[in-house]
Amino acid sequence: MSLAQQFRTGDTPLPDIIILTHKLARAYDMGGEVVRALRGVSLQIRRNEYVAIMGPSGSGKSTLMNLIGCLDTPTGGEYWLNGQKVSDLGDDALARIRNKEIGFVFQTFNLLPRATALHNVELPLIYAGLGAKERRAQAAQALERVGLGDRMEHRPNELSGGQRQRVAIARALVNDPSILLADEPTGNLDSATSGEIMEVFGALHRQGQTVVMVTHEHDIAAHAARVVTLRDGLVATDQRQAA
Amino acid sequence: MTQLFEGIGIALGSLRGNKARAALTILGIAIGVMVVMIIASMISGINRSVQHTFESIAPRTFLVWRWFQAGVNISDGSEETSPWRRNPAISGEEADRIALLPSVRYVTRRDESSARVEFGDLALESVNISGLSSQWVEVNGGDVYPGRTFTRLEDLANSRVVVINKKLEAQLFRGRDPIGHTIKIAGVPFEVIGVYTPAPSLFSGASPPFAGIPHGAFEKYVPFWKGWMKLAIAPVEDVPQQQAIDEVTALLRSMRSLKPAQENTFSIITQDKLLDTWQQVTGVFFLVMIALSSIGLMVGGVGVVAIMMISVTERTREIGVRKALGATKREILWQFLVEAATLTLVGGAIGMLVGGTVAWVLSKATPIPAYVPIWSIVVALAASVLTGIGFGLYPANRAARLDPVEALRYE
Ligand SMILES: Nc1ncnc2c1ncn2[C@@H]1O[C@H](COP(=O)(O)OP(=O)(O)OP(=O)(O)O)[C@@H](O)[C@H]1O
Ligand SMILES: [Mg+2]
């Protein structure tokens, strides 16, 4: 925490702080009863950091990831991404940011079942408005990067779990996003395959990619340089560790 | 553009995946489009040949009938719905007096019936027989070859001579030369003097057997429904048609002692009027076409809503993923609209193929000269796409408004 900027409402984050949340809150109105999933999370993540988010079930990890990923909007506090205050942007602007700045990796892969690996990886480029040729080339390159250059025409059901997650990682990377967000990316994989996927994340981080990853497992979190723990919608601990 | 192609690809994929559901939708649209195609092709085909027919008749000739109703009317036989009962029949005397008018070149009479026709051992029932004045070929168009039509003298003398058409020639004589042979019409012998070929017209390819005989002989020998004689009148050259019409009208009114306030008790029909009437009839066809095809399109439209709602629900997660990857609301909306339109366009294309085939079969197998006009293809395809977009709007909007977090969590 020593390196963090002392941030107050009205300030602008320092240039190398890629993610800054300030007293970020998210409450759900459940028919009169309010569930406060996040109760004021202040967090700063620098470019090229590798952060693991841990915490018990229901502590708000996924809620935080959705806010950081601009899939959801906070009910309180501020969120700055890459020098831009996104907590009060509209739907279309958020869609643009998801397309350009953010790469998602999900626990359940979330590939389109009927599309080939290559086409799945092309999707973000379609929404970025790229031409077919360029799209194909970039998607193929992203698949090569995760070691699936020889599986481009396979459909998800013709791939193993680990391979599917690699396709998902290639899809997350293809737009060259500012941050890579992964919510329990190894949750559906056996430990050997999990190890391989963590190798991929490690390599990406070494190439300069900023990575934020939610996990339940300490040996997965051990790959990260920094571990943030949530409890009841608040940051409980925030520690740097030797990688 | 890429998204358009992608949308069409997805649509075809989901069509393959949901065959039963898609079938209902496609069927509805296909029926709607098929009806448009068939009726449009019939109207256009008939229109074409009607125009052709009218052009082939001497254009200045006009008709005097006992009764002619512009448009379509339905009769139950009562006085109000059978207004022709108020009109007296056209008489022979009236015809003779009209022929004497200075603006009239000639008048031809026509009465129609059907009768048994025999030649040797062969007998045909219900052959169309017309009693005609000698200039009838000039009025009707077409020509007589081989042979000749009856002369004015034969007409006045009630001679038992007959002109037959190709169809009757083929059925009675089977390739032999008919000229000079005697056939029996309603049991009375007539000498065949000519073979008539009508002007190319509406049903010319399939016109039924026909025999034309002098009008006097017709009245004398053939049983017919009296009181429906029709006159065709050709004005003298250089006299405007309207002048002849005025003279004929004035003559008939005075012969029938009509007061100025009374309406004509006869009908005068020009080709313009016939064309008008024809156009009114086609108007009715059009209404039927629009009604039937809108029902089909409605059924298809409801199918579109159903199949698209299912598609949206089944693919909730996919929508979430697409949103997470940067798709805007508009892009999702567009994707599902393209999908709905593709669905209906497939239906439209099928309906067009079936409808086009039916039109083609009609034109080959029946006298209806159906042909498919380009505009009907455009209208049919546009209608099917618009149906898809119109009915797809609701489900597509549902998809576009899905919350990405909820959609991604959907099981
Ligand atoms: N859409 C929602 N409506 C109401 N409450 C919600 C909703 N989403 C999350 N919550 C609540 O917010 C809290 C945090 O949920 P969240 O999914 O962030 O937990 P998590 O830390 O990711 O848990 P897990 O480890 O089980 O994935 C929970 O109490 C949950 O019930
Ligand atoms: Mg979670």
Q: What domain range includes position A62?
A: 48-72+90-240
- Say if B89 falls within a structural domain: no
In a domain, A180, yes or no: yes
A107 lines ligand 1 (CB under 6 A): no
For ligand 1, atom 18, name the residue with the nearest CA: A60
Q: How many domains does chain B have?
A: 2
CA of A62 to the centre of ligand 1 (A): 7
B217 and B144 in a common domain: yes
Asked if A127's CB is within 8 angstroms of B322's CB, the reply is yes
pLDDT of residue B73: 43
Q: Is B158 found in the same domain as B39?
A: no
- Tell me the pLDDT tens digit for each residue of A102-153: 999 999 999 998 889 999 999 999 999 888 899 999 999 999 999 999 999 9
- How far does A51 lie from chain B, in Å, by closest CA? 21
Q: Are residues B280 and B235 part of one domain?
A: no
Angle between helix A117-128 and helix A161-173 axes, rounded to 10 deg: 20
Q: Strand B188-197 vs strand B143-147: parallel, antiparallel, or unpaired?
A: antiparallel
Residue B188 phi, psi (nearest 5): -105, 130
* A3 CA from centroid of ligand 2 (Å): 28
Interval B121-131: pLDDT, tens: 889 988 889 99
Phi and psi dihedrals of A6, rounded to 5? -75, 100
Distance from Cα A232 to the centre of ligand 2, integer Å: 13
Locate the chain B residue with the closest alpha carbon to A64: B405
What was the pLDDT predicted at B76? 47
Residue A45 has pLDDT above 80, yes or no: yes
CA angle A121, B399, B343 (to 5 degrees): 85
Interface contact B326-A96, CB threshold 8 A: yes
Q: Which residue of B has its CA nearest to A177?
A: B325
Report the distance separating Cα B236 and Cα B222, nearest Å: 32
Output the CA–CA distances (angstroms, integers) from residue B47 to A125, B180, B246, B286, B306, in the order listed: 54, 39, 30, 13, 40
- Asked if residue A39 belongs to a domain, the reply is no
Q: Which of B191, B214, B240 delimits the end of a domain?
A: B240
- Nearest-Cα residue of chain A relative to residue B4: A126
Angle between helices A161-173 and A132-145 (to 10 degrees): 130
B298 and B391 part of one domain: yes
B235 and B133 co-located in one domain: yes
In angstroms, what is the span from residue A54 Cα to ligand 2's centroid? 10
Does residue B72 sit within a domain? no
Q: The whole model's pTM is what?
A: 0.70
Phi/psi for A43 (5° steps) reads -150, 140
ipTM: 0.94
Domain tally, chain A: 1
From B190, B223, B240, the end of a domain falls on: B240
Which of A29, A39, A59 most suits a substitution to test ligand 1, by most atoms within 8 Å of the C-beta? A59
Q: Is the pLDDT of residue A243 over 70?
A: no
- Whether ligand 1 lies within 6 angstroms of the CB of A60 is answered as yes
| Chain-chain contact of B326 with A171 (C-beta, under 8 angstroms) | no
Q: Is residue B270 part of a domain?
A: no
Q: Which domain holds residue B165?
A: 101-240
A229 lines ligand 1 (CB under 6 A): no
A6 to chain B, minimum CA–CA distance in Å? Answer: 31
Same-domain pairing of B212 and B315: no
Pocket test for ligand 1, best of A26, A30, A61 (most atoms within 8 A of CB): A61
Calculate what percentage of chain B has a pLDDT beyond 70.
85
Residue A137 lies in a domain: yes
* Degrees to nearest 5, angle at CA A213 with A210 and A215: 160
CATH number at residue A206: 3.40.50.300
Question: CA-to-CA distance for A175 and A99, rounded, in angstroms?
Answer: 7
Chain-chain contact of A123 with B325 (C-beta, under 8 angstroms): yes
pLDDT tens-digit series, residues B25-84 = 788 788 878 877 787 777 777 776 666 556 555 667 888 888 765 444 444 444 555 666
Are A71 and B405 in contact by the 8 Å Cβ rule? The answer is yes
**Looking at the domain assignment, is residue B83 inside a domain?**
no
Boundary (domain end) residue, out of B213, B240, B267: B240
Calculate how close chain B gets to A1, using CA atoms only, in Å.
Answer: 30
Position B269 in a domain? no
Are B45 and B146 members of one domain? no
Let me know if residue B327 belongs to a domain.
Answer: yes
pLDDT, tens only, B151-183: 989 998 999 999 998 889 988 998 889 999 999
Residues of chain B contacting A114 with CB distance shorter than 8 Å: 13
Q: Which of B317, B324, B328 sits opposite A104 (nearest CB)?
A: B324
CB-based contact A110 B326, cutoff 8 Å: no
pLDDT of B280 over the 90 cut: no
Which of A30, A67, A91, A100 is the mutation pick for testing B, counting most B CBs within 10 A?
A91
Q: Which residue of A has its CA nearest to B407?
A: A71
In this model, does residue A235 exceed pLDDT 90?
yes
Q: Is A228 part of any domain?
A: yes
Question: Does some domain include residue A9?
Answer: no
Contacts of B134 by beta carbon, 8 Å cutoff, 6+ apart: B108, B149, B150, B151, B152, B154, B155, B214
Asked if residue A43 belongs to a domain, the reply is: no
**Residue A63 near ligand 1, beta carbon < 6 Å:** yes
> Is B361 part of any domain?
yes
Q: Does the beta carbon of A112 lie inside 6 Å of ligand 1? A: no
- Residue B64 domain-assigned? no
Q: Is residue A20 in some structural domain?
A: no
Tell me if A243 CB under 6 Å of ligand 1: no
